[in-house]
Structure 1
């Protein structure tokens, strides 16, 4: 997709803006601990005492407690309270208007104070919520402190707490961090006296796409209720901004949901992943400068999961080509900015994604807006994830978060599924694990979801004893990773498909350590018996013990993951009954339950690293899922290959073009035709000899008159190596004040050990700073080597900085910079 087109689509983001909204990003202070009381957040400002404790640090929002410690090796991430404080200038322009704080998400329990008055609380880290501060502000403005100590500003203090709590969802047994902090945007919001709390826009169209209807209902703020009629107007604009409908009337602003109007459209322009056409709804309540205004984007599409069949959008079969997203990023954890989120979603779209499961919680409105404008269908779910079933407080939170998720994201045309749970067959939080009680609560959630929204399907993943309750079910199928071999995939999937009314396969794939490659990636499959199932079972994620499985016995190379992905995608093209799949996940993310992974505390199943660096598997997906001509030679991050002199070595090319020609050291090795069923790399693979030493590879692919090309270079090593006996540390780059160092492992004869996966740990002495705690292969101070090497970046002062690296059983080495 061209950059200009993407930029245009992003302008169409589905927004629902209040009349006056300001993001409160700057001017914050933070302390990661509890206070004796809210007065301690206010007192140092009042007293101006430089000896006040604790010491606060300046931060900007979004901000997460766990930006670094979530992936810090050898320690648990912080779970507990933290405090934020700032001062607001409040100037509501509306007569008798309301002033609110709008939280787009905060983790996980939050209390809000104006001066020392508690004005609101919320439990749950992922749904949106508001706090009306109108009265508290008005009261504080009458105090002497308002003018003298605070110079006309309002002290705001917020306590967030992500402490472990068994009576909250999600469970701390979940394979992701339960983050703390103001990690989504916080807005100061001014509303006029009469304002809408929620606008529900139900856009429907028949399967033929001939007739569409848009039903609008509004829920007003309780403070807006009156006994007099209020003027209301609505304009409907088509995707090009042309008016196609208008309504003007008067209504009584009363409690509950009020129907505004229904538009009927002939031959509406349909929303789809290829053409995400969005209509604009402009609502005005009242007249003149005191009127309330709101703008929403809506889309018309017909969504159907065929019973015992595929998925259809607008009456046509659409293979859902999906992935997953966690709210997590290098250096910031959950506190991703809008620019970061946009970059991530565009990367997904460029990979060819048309579907995403948002795991395992309601995500930012920014994500949903981008799904609408980019054309990505969505499964969004509540965080009832693992652990079992808690009591009344636990269940009330789950139901509340379901209601909030549906109501807050109801208008998004991208959403086709509401998820009710994930891995609810996974016990551990409570002494009792009662399947019948879990079934009863799942039934209650399913009924509630249909009550809130009859137009969308419900779904869960991996809880077989509840699979008959929801509309769509996804079993556990991890062929070639936790169980079985990847060639089992189609047979296992067909069996699972036959056992449910509507089938969708979400979560498949495998871990890969970025930068690690293998000449024999499938060796581990020889230890595993085919046909033994492909589900994930208790203990399969462990790197120790249990039955043979690739997740434990494989090499975690990018080479193996590419083969696994390649096989799955080739098979999916020959399964006409398949509704679709979603690869788990798009990006590596941090998790507290995987301390022993090659990057500690990281789930490394992503096709991009935690900092958006694509792995090789990203291009395998592109070669199957995109149409703009592309070509990619496998091995861009593989500096040294190895083998015998004169041995034929495989070169793989991933491309969506009809044919490709390979050149090795300037010599053509012929043209190959693409055939998706010719594994691997859809037939674009060559067996060629490499010259000892440096080699240059180039590929030219063509699609009609269009050609694209790619090239790589590497060293070919024919020397054999033994056990690693020493480390060699060197500086390999020094750019813009950032130094990159590399450690290599050698044997006693001085030959680099190209399959060495030893643990190495970097440290720094003197001035400077390591760029670590990023959760990436090159941004972690403790990491497994990839092909006998590892790198890290740092800031150094010449002559005043030394870097050390150690590895168990080897002599520590030191490099003065």
Structure 2
């Protein structure tokens, strides 16, 4: 029986849902509409903008190119990023729609607000280019007021477009060495309108940005809030602007008010300051937020905006831990890439909410957003859920480009800080990632990289003196930022996981402020092992734990688990378990962040068990949890939970009467294990008793069917979990044949399972052969999803693999192939 992901009480679940919904509301301007529907798309370039707007001849085969209806968000690479047989598309693509524009403000402005588009974008109203942008991750706007007014005077406005405004947008993710991030990065450089696009109406007098800075003293007794606003260039300098401000506490009670006037000027204009006695503090346990309500102007033409802020005090102690509001907070973190099965970067707001809730339910209180500015939805949720943030610009790998490259990096730093300045969750601005990684340019000059990183560091502090700066993995520049994270991959790219603490202590001594981001290992979802640590016997202890060039390759080089290990969930759970237990014994540690939360696509890993996937996540690319998710939950959460290892392990193996290991991941005080109805005793949780914090038993299994159940106790509370599996004692030889079986038919999808057997018909439970699924006739494989059950080419997990498909009875045939074996065919 599969238990809930997060066994909690109803009220706690309801509260979490409410917080997520509140936190995701945008601090938007006057009237804003998401432009999600009514779009058409063509992959590739046009001969010119006229091809997007010229009159079409209905039914004519000469009307080219052919446009495809789409909804936004939309990504060029929704499927091809993980197609095992092609390089993902990098090039231009066009979108078009027609807008009904009715600005209600006299003399107001009509804007297009892009929350992010990849990677270079041009915007057209009819045939007039109205704006462009370089950079796939920061927000930007285009003022289309005059272009709309001009087009409304044309004959085409009334006749061809029937009173609508034609909008065309060209996105381009072509490879470009003078643009960040580098194409050497371990993630796809996606193209398209993959974040929300908004039509916004502003009055004639408005502010384009609020900068609200809320802080407290270390004791949290007094809070201070300063407010600045920035006017757009369209507002003449010197314009007198009436301003009204209200500061509301987390319950909506007014605790500060201001009424006055400011004069528009270039840059930010100071408005007012507030002092708050005994502010309600923001923290991961209680993410309380104050509302800053701002009105510019008067009457019906006034501009209104609300920014949410949090009062808190942050400190990275030199040679010590991290403190929030004067108290040590061990940062328990993970990472997020903007990537999901079936949509790539085009994640909708409900998808983002689900992902962030899963993180919070795992016990996360810290997240590094890798490796670029992410959606405002993510930051709002971090604020409301209580997850502190390291956010960075996409200066990632490849070296250092020229003036255009450097200007983009500085521009994106400026935008990131300005656009996410108000978020209490943000504690670190990241300057870059793996900037010691050469090969985009013939020159790799460490001193020039140091000089540019110093410029970025100074810029970040000029924009925001209240937060820290950081980089990860660039040892020759580790003295420049406030906080440094070295490369420590104990037990994966280098060394063994029991080296973790010693290696970390040595790295800690070398910098002022230390924070460990990126650790972990790959696991092929559904693959399990009876002997997961076998690879460690080939690897000597004490040889370091850094990642070196070529370590991600599955071929050649020195012995390492990333190449020689079994990529099982079993091994990853042991690695995670060891790291988490050790972190509890490191009082000087500021924190660590597991890399990453979710499997994500990458162009540099074509040979992984799911091709083109980085499989280090604790959930799959479609949110399916792996076993390691529950290891984290057992250390990081307090709501009672218990999880028996092996929910996705249908067949275990060994000798008759052999004692087999059963692990239970739980945060409860004690647990009792039952195997086939017989109790094997009550054990007490002890975090330093590896594995599974002492909740492990060695028990015999019956040949054939088995049922294992655990009952865990936390005070008077009790939680249970159970699994069923088959125990195989028959030995097998090399795989000799394949079978293909229908195992489920639900919700319009058929599930088929391929299995590998030896010549005697014994299942080969350690087989990792490559399998290739195909379909003939009516139907469609649900492949190119980047998951273990959603790839047409995949390595077997314990001699099996599944895939889902749409089928028409009697007209669909599925096949599976494996090199050197006869093809198996199944007619549905």
TM-score, length-scaled by structure 1? 0.99
| 1:77 paired residue among 69, 88, 105 | 88
1:216 to 193, 210, 227: 227
Q: Does 1:296 align with 2:307?
A: yes
What is the CA–CA distance in structure 1 between the aligned matches of 2:693 and 2:17, rounded to whole Å? 32
Q: 1:688: which partner in 2? A: 699
Measure how far apart 1:251 and its partner are: 2.3
Q: Is residue 23 from structure 1 mapped to residue 29 from structure 2 by the alignment?
A: no
Q: Which residue of 2 aligns with 1:655?
A: 666
Partner of 2:435, secondary structure, is strand
Could you tell me which residue of structure 2 aligns to residue 63 of structure 1?
74
Q: Which residue number corresponds to residue 91 of structure 1? A: 102
Counterpart of 1:607 in structure 2 is: 618
Q: 2:494 aligns with which of 469, 483, 494?
A: 483
Equivalent residue of 1:578, what SS? coil
Name 2:18's counterpart in structure 1.
8
Determine the C-alpha separation between the residues in 1 that align with 2:162 and 2:596.
49
| Aligned residue number for residue 3 of structure 2 | none
Q: Distance in 2 between matches of 1:694 and 1:104?
A: 53
Q: CA shift at 1:755, angstroms? A: 0.1
Query: What is the deviation of 1:48?
Result: 8.0
Q: How far apart, in 2, do the equivalents of 1:46 and 1:145 lie? A: 15
Shift of 1:12: 3.2
**SS of structure 1 residue aligned to 2:113:** strand
Q: How far does the alpha carbon of each residue in 1:409-463 deviate from its partner, in whole angstroms, 9 at most, with x for none? A: 0000000000001000000100110000000000000000000000000000000
Q: Distance in 1 between matches of 2:467 and 2:559?
A: 41
Q: Matched residues in 2 for 1:624 and 1:760: separation?
A: 37
Structure 2 partner of 1:788 = 799
1:633-712 mapped onto 2 (5 Å cutoff): 633-712=644-723
Residue pair 1:46, 1:149 contacting (<8 A) in 2 also: no
CA deviations on 1:549-608 (whole Å, 9 max, x unpaired) are 000000000000000000000000000000000000000000000000000000000000
Specify the alignment match of 1:445 in structure 2.
456
1:806 aligns with 2:817: yes
Q: Is the contact made by 2:764 and 2:799 (CA closer than 8 Å) also made in structure 1?
A: yes
Distance 1:399 1:230 in 2: 31
CA distance in 1 between counterparts of 2:645 and 2:180 reads 41
Quick check: 1:361 aligned with 2:372? yes
Q: Please tell me the root mean square deviation across aligned C-alpha atoms, in Å.
A: 0.9
1:507 is displaced (CA, Å) by 0.1
Residues 517, 787 of structure 1: 8 Å contact kept = yes
Residue aligned with 1:3, SS: helix
Q: Which residue of 2 aligns with 1:556?
A: 567
Q: CA deviation at 1:3?
A: 1.5
Partner SS state of residue 196, structure 1: coil
Partner of 1:160: 171
Count the aligned residue pairs.
817
Partner residue in 2 for 1:502? 513
SS of the equivalent of 2:801 reads: strand
Q: Is the 8 A contact 2:311 2:424 kept in 1?
A: yes
What residue is the counterpart of 2:576 in the other structure? 565
- Specify the alignment match of 1:147 in structure 2: 158
Contact 1:12–1:278 under 8 Å retained in 2: no
Q: CA deviation at 1:289?
A: 1.0
Counterpart Cα distance in 2 of 1:467 and 1:334 = 31
Q: Summarize the alignment of residues 335-374 of structure 1 with structure 2, pairs less than 5 Å apart.
A: 335-374=346-385
The question of 1:770 aligning with 2:770 is answered no
CA shift at 1:365, angstroms?
Answer: 0.2
How far apart are residue 286 of structure 1 and its match? 1.1
- Mapped to 2, the partners of 1:145 and 1:348 lie a distance apart of 51
Q: Deviations over 1:5-45 (max 9, x none)?
A: 11221243263211000000000000000000011011144
Q: 1:45 to 1:223 in 2, by over 3 A?
A: farther
Secondary structure (helix, strand or coil) at the match of 1:508 reads: coil
Contact 1:74–1:595, Cα closer than 8 Å, also in 2: no
What is the distance in 1 between the residues matched to 2:348 and 2:437?
A: 33
Give the superposition deviation at 1:223: 1.8
How far did residue 320 of structure 1 move? 0.1
2:482 alignment counterpart = 471
User: Shift of residue 528 of structure 1?
Assistant: 0.2
3-state DSSP class of the match of 1:233? Answer: strand
Whole-Å Cα distance in 2 between the matches of residues 618 and 107 of structure 1?
31
Given the alignment, which residue of 175, 180, 190 partners 2:186?
175
- Output aligned runs, 1:299-338, within 5 Å: 299-338=310-349
Give SS of 1:447's match.
helix
Q: Structure 1 residues 150, 420: CA separation in 2 closer, same or farther (over 3 Å shift)?
A: same
CA contact (8 A) 2:576 2:631 kept: yes
Out of 429, 445, 453, the position equivalent to 1:418 is 429
Contact 1:225/1:255 (8 A) holds in 2: no
Please give the alpha-carbon distance, in whole angstroms, between the structure 1 residues aligned to 2:665 and 2:371: 31
User: Does the aligned pair in 1 maintain the 2:237–2:266 contact within 8 Å?
Assistant: no
Note closer, same or farther for the CA distance 1:45–1:135 as it changes in structure 2 (3 Å cut): farther
Partner of residue 636, structure 2:
625
Give how far 1:226 is off: 6.0
Kindly indicate whether the alpha-carbon contact (under 8 Å) linking 2:766 and 2:798 is maintained by their aligned counterparts in 1. yes
Is 1:274 aligned with 2:285? yes
Q: Distance in 2 between matches of 1:295 and 1:431?
A: 49
SS in 2 for 1:743: strand
C-alpha distance after superposition, 1:66-107 (max 9, x if no partner): 000000002100000000000000000000000000000000
Aligned equivalents of 2:307, 2:445: Cα separation in 1: 43
In structure 2, C-alpha distance between the alignment counterparts of 1:221 and 1:95, rounded to whole Å: 17
- The correspondence for 2:738, drawn from 711, 727, 748, is 727
Distance 1:297 1:48, change over 3 A: farther
Work out the CA distance in 1 between the residues paired with 2:453 and 2:238.
Answer: 42
Bigger shift: residues 8-17 or 57-66: 8-17
Return the alpha-carbon distance in structure 1 between the equivalents of residues 306 and 39 of structure 2. 30
Structure 2: tracts of 5 or more residues without a match: 1-7
**Equivalence for 2:522:** 511
Distance 2:664 2:686 in 1: 12
- Equivalent runs, 1:380-459 vs 2, <5 Å: 380-459=391-470
- How far apart, in 2, do the equivalents of 1:748 and 1:755 lie? 15
| Cα distance per residue 1:451-483 (max 9 Å; x no partner) | 000000000000000000000000000000000
- Report how far residue 192 of structure 1 moved: 0.1
1:574 aligns with 2:585: yes
CA distance in 2, matches of 1:466, 1:493: 18
**2:57, 2:63 within 8 Å by CA — same for their partners in 1?**
no
Q: 1:655 to 1:289 in 2, by over 3 A?
A: same
1:256-298 deviations in whole A, cap 9, x for unaligned? Answer: 3111110100010000000000000110111111100001100
CA distance in 1, matches of 2:235, 2:302: 12
SS in 2 for 1:426: coil
